[in-house]
Structures are given as structure tokens and as C-alpha cells.
């Protein structure tokens, strides 16, 4: 284990987090929230100072392998969450540190589940930091560090693989550092475009920026108790578009920007992702229209589309309380949340690419029973998927199921109703936010015990980091030299 490199990257992370605290500091000064401004100033100063001192001595050995990559990623996200919770406590927005930590982890992992019963009275600067955590965690802070931290390019890929979602993570250009820069430029560009569109549609500038953070990061924190219900249909339509866009593999946008539409539209999971959104929205709209949820068929489709996109991208915004819908739409939404968005996006869930690999591998196994001598391969995007990838996806599914069952049993100790217990784990492990029952779109996680909150925080981190990094650091052998 290369401890010097772990130390160096963690202190660089702390330094970066200090710079990020400057943005809510500026917001506090703009809105005259001087007590909060002092708090953010102290946090920024301390983080930057400690980060500079700790990372002053560069490690001689910059080589890291997969083990270090997983360990650095998991520990970095834990440290980032522990520090990110401090502003909520010292500003008094969330006095209880465990609750503040829950809110912070929910923010960084882009889950969007909250312990807050109201946000209307929260200071602008604290609210800004709350939604900004979505934007920081959406693309991944270590991906950002890869663009600025000097590291052997052949080994830095281990960091990107550990933090980026999907069964296969690759470079879109020869150097990892350049790949990280391109991804963040696309991410930043989409955020700016959405903020402008929302502002033009009638949202105040503050709302346009903070909602863009939550949308592009596919997080789901709103800045008003009414959520998305208080915005116009046009604004909601803009949010639908950008949620859907951010659930697509960002490699697609790189191909489109480089005028390679053939490569962009050859990605299988994007086709299934968009097709599933269309079909599911129509079915749910039909059911809720027949059930009399709304009188207008057009508005039924609008709210159905919004909800399907929000759940599939694991954003978690809501325009209606789907907890009151008929059983079929609710079950469909739970299934869609389990699948999630595309690999290489900011969305969570199991990922369409993994689901396709599992389904196609299962089909091959069934064919093998009928034709034992047949040689079948799993294909994605017109190419054969390596056996190691199929094996890793199968292992991931096994770990995923075990984690889900264990977490559900622990949360069941709170003795809440079945749908609250099960969907709270589904919602956190898949980084969705809202579930059903007490944790529905109109509910929150405030009533859960401390034990359950820690279980759900673990699930949020495990889900965002694709399970393996969190479990790797729990093995004693990981930390042996």
C-alpha cells in the first residue's frame, strides 16, 4: 500500500474542498448572512491551510495500483463527507452532527434523501452549499483532482475506475488527465446552459443555479418545500430535458462534439434507456389518467414523464406525490429506480449496461442448455464483451443483493411499515432519494433511528462508489504494505 500517495491525495482533496467553501462564502456576503460568512471563511481557511501543509511534500513514489485506487476513493469520500457536514452544524442549520452527516452524504452521493422537514427558512448560503454538494459529487471530486494532481497516467486510471460509474470505465482520449478535463468541461457546460434556460423560463437566478446543481448532478435537493411543484410547466419541461441528458453516458457528448454521431448513437444502453423512458411514461400516464389522478391526459403524460425521468436518472425531483398513485405505477417506478441510468453518467442505480449484460448472459446460458456445443458471447455496441467484465457484473449483482438484504434487515429494527423499510434501502442504495411510505416524495428520513441512518449512509456511499471501494477498505489485507 502506497501510504504516501494516499496522504498526498487526501490533503489535496482537503485543499480543494477549502476552495469550494469560498462559493457559499460569497453567497453569504451577497445576501448579508455575515455569521454564516464567517463560518465558511474559517472552514475555507483551515481546509486550505491544512491541505497545503499536508500536501507540501510530494511523494517520491507516485505509483498506485487498483488496491490503492479503491482505498483512496472510499476514504476520500468519507473524509469529504465528514468535512462537508461541518457547515450545517456550525451555522445551526442542522445542529445534530449525525443528521448533518446524513444530509451531506446524501448530497455528495447525489441521493437527495433528506432529514429536514422544511427548507424554506434555511439561509441562502447554507442552501447553496447543500445543493452544491450534488454538483461536486455528480461527476466526482477525484475526477477533478485527476485533472490537476500530477500522477503517472498509467496508474491514475485506477482512481477514475474506482469513482466513475459503470462496469467498464475507459479513457475517451489517450491521457487520463485530458479525459478528466473534457468530462468536467462538458459537465460545466451543461450546468451553465440549464441555468440560463431556467432563468429565461422565469426562475429567479438563485433558484436557476441551485436547481441546475441538483439536476445536472442528478441529486434532487430542492430549495423550497414545494419542490418542483411551484415551478411553471415550461420550467419543469426544461428540468425533464436536462435530467434525461445527464442520465446518458457523457461519452456520447464527446462523440457529438467531435462530429462522430455514428459512434454516439451506436451505444446500446442509450437506446434502451431512452426507449424505456418513452414506454414507461406512456403506460404510467394512461394508468393515472384512468385512475382520475388528473383530468387532463396531457398533464398526466407531463407528470408521468417527469417522474419516470426523475426516478430513472435517480434525481428524485417530484411534481406530484406518486406515493398516492395506483399500485402498478408505483411498482414500475421502483423497478425503474433499481435499473437506474446509463454508465458514465451522473445517475445512480444498477445501470442499463449491467442490466443488458446480465440479461444477455442469462439468454446465452439458456441457449447453452439447449445447444451444449454452441459458443455464445455477450455483445454490447456491436463488440464482444470480455469474460472478465461479465464475471465482474455477476459478482457486482451478488454483492448488491447481499448488501440490500442485510441493510433491509437492519433498518427493519425500526419497525416501520414494509414499503417504508424496503424502499428506504432501495432509495439510498440506488441514490434516488424518495421511496414510498414515510420516505415518499412528501416525506423524509428524520424519523429513522441513529442505527438506521448509519446503515442508509453506508448504502448511499456504497451505491455511489459502486460497492467495491467501500468493501475493499473493510478488508484488513488492504492496508498491509
Give percent of the chain above pLDDT 70.
91
pLDDT band at 460 (very low <50, low <70, confident <90, very high): very high
- Position with higher pLDDT, 388 vs 311: 311
Residue 410 within a domain: yes
**Is residue 165 a contact partner of residue 345, using CB atoms and an 8 Å limit?**
yes
Cα–Cα distance list, 157 to 169, 468, 472 (Å): 9, 16, 17
Residue 310 within a domain: no
- The helix (H) or strand (E) run that includes residue 141 is helix 141-146
pLDDT at residue 367 in the model: 81
Paired residues of 203 in beta bridges = none
Note the pTM of the prediction, 2 decimals.
Answer: 0.91
As given in the structure block, the three cell numbers for residue 307 are 417522474
Q: What is the pLDDT of residues 334-347, one digit of tens each?
A: 999 999 888 888 88
Q: Note down the domain range covering 372.
A: 363-479
Average confidence (pLDDT) over 22-46: 95
**Is residue 133 a contact partner of residue 214, using CB atoms and an 8 Å limit?**
no
- Give the side-chain half-sphere CA count within 13 A for 448: 29
User: What is the domain count for the chain?
Assistant: 1
N- to C-terminal Cα separation, the chain: 5
Q: Quickly count: other Cβ atoms within 10 Å of residue 328's Cβ.
A: 13
Residue 472 within a domain: yes
Say which residue the cell 416525506 belongs to.
Answer: 443
Q: Does 161 have pLDDT greater than 80? A: no
Q: What is the pLDDT of residues 376-427, one digit of tens each?
A: 778 777 778 787 888 888 888 999 999 999 999 999 999 999 999 999 999 9
Q: Does 128 have pLDDT greater than 60? A: yes
pLDDT at residue 66 in the model: 74
Cα 126 to chain centroid distance, Å, stands at: 20
Q: What is the pLDDT of residues 181-227, one digit of tens each?
A: 788 888 899 999 999 999 999 999 999 999 999 999 999 899 999 88
Q: Does 281 have pLDDT greater than 90? A: yes
Residue 454 within a domain: yes
Q: Does 162 have pLDDT greater than 60? A: no
pLDDT at residue 146 in the model: 61
As given in the structure block, the three cell numbers for residue 117 are 422537514
Residue 307 within a domain: no
Cα 45 to chain centroid distance, Å, stands at: 28
Average confidence (pLDDT) over 58-77: 79
pLDDT band at 158 (very low <50, low <70, confident <90, very high): low
Residue 444 within a domain: yes
Paired residues of 380 in beta bridges = 383
When mean pLDDT is compared over 70-79, 158-167, 176-185, 471-480, the highest value belongs to 70-79
Cα–Cα distance list, 290 to 102, 278, 287, 323, 441 (Å): 39, 19, 5, 17, 22
Q: What is the pLDDT of residues 72-124, one digit of tens each?
A: 888 889 999 999 999 999 999 999 999 999 999 999 999 999 999 899 999 99
Residue 369 within a domain: yes
Residue 317 within a domain: no
Amino acid at each position: 500500500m502506497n501510504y504516501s500517495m494516499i496522504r498526498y491525495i487526501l490533503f489535496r482533496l482537503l485543499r480543494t474542498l477549502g476552495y469550494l467553501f469560498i462559493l457559499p462564502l460569497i453567497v453569504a456576503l451577497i445576501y448579508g448572512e455575515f455569521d454564516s460568512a464567517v463560518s465558511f471563511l474559517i472552514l475555507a481557511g483551515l481546509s486550505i491551510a491544512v491541505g497545503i501543509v499536508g500536501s507540501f511534500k510530494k511523494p517520491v513514489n507516485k505509483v498506485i495500483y487498483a488496491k490503492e485506487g479503491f482505498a483512496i476513493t472510499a476514504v476520500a469520500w468519507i473524509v469529504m463527507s465528514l468535512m462537508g457536514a461541518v457547515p450545517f452544524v456550525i451555522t445551526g442549520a442542522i445542529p445534530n452532527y449525525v443528521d448533518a452527516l446524513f444530509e451531506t452524504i446524501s448530497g455528495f452521493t447525489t441521493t437527495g434523501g433528506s432529514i429536514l422537514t422544511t427548507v424554506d427558512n434555511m439561509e441562502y448560503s447554507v442552501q447553496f452549499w447543500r445543493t452544491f454538494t450534488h454538483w461536486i459529487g455528480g461527476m466526482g471530486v477525484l475526477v477533478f483532482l485527476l485533472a490537476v494532481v500530477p500522477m503517472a497516467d498509467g496508474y491514475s486510471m485506477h482512481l477514475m475506475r474506482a469513482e466513475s460509474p459503470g462496469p467498464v470505465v475507459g479513457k475517451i482520449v489517450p491521457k487520463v488527465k485530458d479525459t478528466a478535463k473534457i468530462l468536467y468541461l462538458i459537465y460545466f457546460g451543461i450546468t451553465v446552459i440549464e441555468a440560463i434556460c431556467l432563468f429565461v423560463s422565469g426562475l429567479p437566478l438563485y433558484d436557476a443555479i441551485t436547481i441546475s446543481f441538483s439536476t445536472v448532478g442528478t441529486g434532487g435537493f430542492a430549495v423550497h418545500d414545494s419542490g418542483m411543484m411551484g415551478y411553471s410547466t415550461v420550467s419543469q419541461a426544461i428540468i425533464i430535458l436536462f435530467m434525461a441528458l445527464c442520465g446518458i453516458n457523457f461519452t456520447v457528448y464527446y462523440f457529438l462534439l467531435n462530429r462522430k454521431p455514428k459512434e454516439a448513437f451506436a451505444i446500446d444502453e442509450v437506446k434502451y434507456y431512452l426507449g424505456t423512458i418513452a414506454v414507461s411514461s406512456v403506460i404510467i400516464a394512461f394508468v393515472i389518467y384512468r385512475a382520475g389522478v388528473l383530468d387532463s391526459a396531457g398533464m398526466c403524460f407531463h407528470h408521468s414523464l417527469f417522474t419516470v425521468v426523475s426516478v430513472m436518472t435517480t434525481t428524485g425531483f417530484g411534481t406530484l406525490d406518486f406515493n398516492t398513485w395506483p399500485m402498478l405505477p408505483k411498482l414500475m417506478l421502483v423497478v425503474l429506480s433499481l435499473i437506474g441510468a446509463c454508465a458514465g453518467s451522473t445517475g445512480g442505480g444498477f445501470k442499463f449496461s449491467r442490466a443488458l449484460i446480465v440479461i444477455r448472459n442469462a439468454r446465452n446460458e439458456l441457449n447453452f442448455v439447449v445447444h451444449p456445443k454452441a459458443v455464445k458471447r455477450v455483445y454490447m455496441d456491436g463488440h464482444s464483451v470480455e469474460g472478465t467484465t461479465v464475471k465482474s457484473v455477476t459478482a457486482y449483482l451478488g454483492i448488491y443483493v447481499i448488501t440490500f438484504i442485510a441493510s433491509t434487515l437492519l433498518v427493519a429494527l425500526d419497525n416501520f411499515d414494509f414499503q417504508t423499510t424496503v424502499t428506504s434501502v432501495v432509495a439510498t442504495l440506488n441514490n434516488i432519494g424518495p421511496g414510498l411510505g414515510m420516505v415518499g416524495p412528501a416525506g423524509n428520513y428524520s424519523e429513522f433511528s441513529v442505527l438506521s441512518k448509519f446503515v442508509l449512509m453506508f448504502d448511499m456511499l456504497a451505491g455511489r462508489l459502486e460497492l467495491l471501494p467501500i468493501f475493499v477498505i473493510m478488508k484488513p489485507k488492504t492496508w498491509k504494505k
